Amino acid sequence: MCLSFNLCALPEGCRAQYLRNPVSNHGYVRPGMEQFDTTKQELRHSYNITSLSAAAFPAQEDVPQFPQHAVPLAHDLTNLSRVLLQALAYAFGLPPATLLGCHAGMLRSEGGNASSMRLLYYPPVPPEDDARHEHHAAYTRCGAHADCCTFTLLAQDSEGGLEVKLHGSEKWQAVGHLPGAILVQTGELLASWTTNLLPALLHRVVVPSGAYARARARHCVAFFCHPDDNATLPKFPQLPILAPAPPPPVFTPHLTLHHRLLNAAHHLQKRFRETYA
């Protein structure tokens, strides 16, 4: 969990060599490079991992033991995703390997699959800004969005701030910390495939109120499970137990894209253009 912090502690010039590659999506994302809420400053550092090859990681002298910690974690989260993909197929009455087959390339060196693991580090809110901006309006940690993937696995520390808006609700609800728990967030592709029977989960990370909490950093690991670029989307049966289908979501800035979705890779590239400066 501290890998992203250790990376952020490096001098700016040193960090620059690890900046995110816009084609592969691999690398360091500094605050401001990726913006979900353009009305606020988003205080977030991230290291996106889309390749597990040794050359893809920060040098040992810059961040000791980076691959030794990150690679096993990435394998664990990939394997957990595989279990969930089979469970999803089972729940929808599809042959168990149907979804696995569409996600065969997760974090494989050959490419052709956009899955990624993100090590997120949210720095403390600087005290001088704290005093200047009343009501904490100028900063947020992560603006509201839904993830553009099949689903996301999220492991957060105990600092708090993650909030979700459940389908059909107008209310943001805090996600509490359960030690060892992994939150599964439905993504836009799953919503599209299931014609919104499993709507994409809107979420955000707010800066907590209270000087003590605001002066503390937050860490999180997210794994974005994506289908293979060339995957043929499976047709999900409309199961009677899940009927009636819910109405289309109220706030879905990106949902209309699904109706003219050519494939998952096109959709993702469009989202990257929208969120990365």
Name the site residues for ligand AKG (rule: CB under 6 A). Answer: 118, 120, 142, 147, 154, 156, 162, 203, 205, 220, 222
In three-state form (DSSP H/G/I as H, E/B as E, the rest C), the secondary structure along 114-174 is CCEEEEEEECCCCHHHHHHCHHHCCEECEEEECCCCCEEEEEECCCCCEEEECCCCCCCEE
Closest CA to 264 of 237, 234, 229: 229
Tell the smallest beta-carbon distance from residue 124 to ligand AKG (Å): 15
- The kind and range of the H/E element at 117 are strand 116-122
- Interface residues for Fe ion in 62-101 (CB under 5 A)? none
Tell the smallest beta-carbon distance from residue 276 to ligand AKG (Å): 13
Which residue's C-beta sits nearest to ligand AKG?
220
Closest CA to 269 of 150, 170, 148: 148
> Which is it for strands 162-165 and 173-174: parallel, antiparallel or unpaired?
antiparallel
C-alpha to C-alpha distance for 27 and 42, rounded to whole angstroms: 18
DSSP per-residue letters across 182-205: -EEEE-HHHHHHTTTSSPPPEEEE
Nearer to ligand AKG (CB atom), residue 18 or residue 121:
121
Query: Does 147 engage in binding with Fe ion (CB under 5 A)?
Result: yes
Nearer to ligand AKG (CB atom), residue 118 or residue 226:
118
Q: Which does 189 bind (CB under 5 to 8 A by kind): Fe ion, ligand AKG, none?
A: none
Nearer to ligand AKG (CB atom), residue 89 or residue 162:
162
Tell the smallest beta-carbon distance from residue 103 to ligand AKG (Å): 18
Closest CA to 185 of 207, 163, 170, 159: 163
Tell the smallest beta-carbon distance from residue 203 to Fe ion (Å): 6
Tell the smallest beta-carbon distance from residue 62 to Fe ion (Å): 27
Radius of gyration of the chain (CA): 19
C-alpha to C-alpha distance for 263 and 20, rounded to whole angstroms: 23
Residue given tokens 């459940």 in the structure block: 166
Tell the smallest beta-carbon distance from residue 254 to ligand AKG (Å): 13
Amino acid at 95: P
Q: Which does 164 bind (CB under 5 to 8 A by kind): Fe ion, ligand AKG, none?
A: none
Number of residues that bind Fe ion (CB under 5 A): 1
Tell the smallest beta-carbon distance from residue 63 to ligand AKG (Å): 20
Q: Which does 45 bind (CB under 5 to 8 A by kind): Fe ion, ligand AKG, none?
A: none
Nearer to Fe ion (CB atom), residue 67 or residue 81:
81
Nearer to ligand AKG (CB atom), residue 89 or residue 198:
198
Residues 6+ apart with CB under 8 A from 196: 245, 246, 248, 249, 255
- Interface residues for Fe ion in 10-69 (CB under 5 A)? none
92, 239 Cβ separation under 8 angstroms? yes
Nearer to ligand AKG (CB atom), residue 99 or residue 220:
220
Q: Which does 120 bind (CB under 5 to 8 A by kind): Fe ion, ligand AKG, none?
A: ligand AKG
Six-digit token string for 71 = 């690679």
Which residue ranges make up the site for Fe ion (CB under 5 A)?
Answer: 147
